Chains A and B, each alone.
Chain A
Amino acid sequence: DIVLTQSPALAVSLGQRATISCRASQSVSISRYNLMHWYQQKPGQQPKLLIYRASNLASGIPARFSGSGSGTDFTLTINPVQADDIATYYCQQSRESPTFGAGTKLELK
């Protein structure tokens, strides 16, 4: 299995930039495709796709969300953070049998 490692929590102030990282135990890139995806989940709700293939914004997602990275290291950036962004964020790879990171809980400072 490809193991994805995320920090458990990140505290930010409203209006500031949040940078959430995800590190894979082996490369999840094939050719020009970076097979890492990001989801947001709020309590009691289903996950919502934010970013697919590392840097592509999913439909209906605000432009303050962005993604970057390749190989084993990926980043989700929220800038500026709004109150509605307080949630848990998961990365997921599809290079091999899909796996998820443990999630990063975004908290207010």
Chain B
Amino acid sequence: EVQLQESGPGLVKPSQSLSLTCSVTGYSITSNYWGWIRKFPGNKMEWMGYISYSGSTSYNPSLKSRISITRDTSKNQFFLQLNSVTTEDTATYYCARSGPDPYYSSWGQGTLVTVSS
């Protein structure tokens, strides 16, 4: 059974970069597609992007200038970096798995990231 677990700082200062890791067990990230989704206070959900089995990426156009998703296949981990964060980036961040059609059948438990000085 695939399991995903997010990790990273829970507090980030404005203008800095947010960096999260998703550790995957039970399934190789060299198969399928691996995404990041966030849920804001107030419950709005936003798809951020994914990295594919081959390492190609796709990003939400609204984030394209600030976001990077990378991976380490030797550790079976993938990563989110979001630059120049503001308080509006405060959210619970989820990593998740999909097929080529990006609907998500497996999710991590989520990690709350607060952007505050």
Contacts and interface: CB of A to CB of B under 8 A. Distances in A.
Interface of A: 35, 37, 39, 45-49, 52-53, 58-59, 88, 90, 92, 94, 97-100, 102-103
A81 B47 CA distance: 29
Chain B's interface size range is: 10 to 19
A49 B61 contact: no
Interface in B85-114: 94, 101-105, 107-110
Q: Is the interface of A mostly helix, strand, loop or mixed?
A: loop
A100 B103 contact: no
A46 B101 contact: no
25 contacts: A35-B101, A37-B103, A46-B107, A46-B108, A46-B109, A47-B45, A47-B104, A47-B107, A48-B107, A49-B104, A49-B105, A52-B101, A52-B105, A53-B101, A58-B105, A88-B43, A92-B45, A92-B47, A94-B101, A94-B102, A97-B47, A97-B61, A99-B47, A102-B44, A103-B45
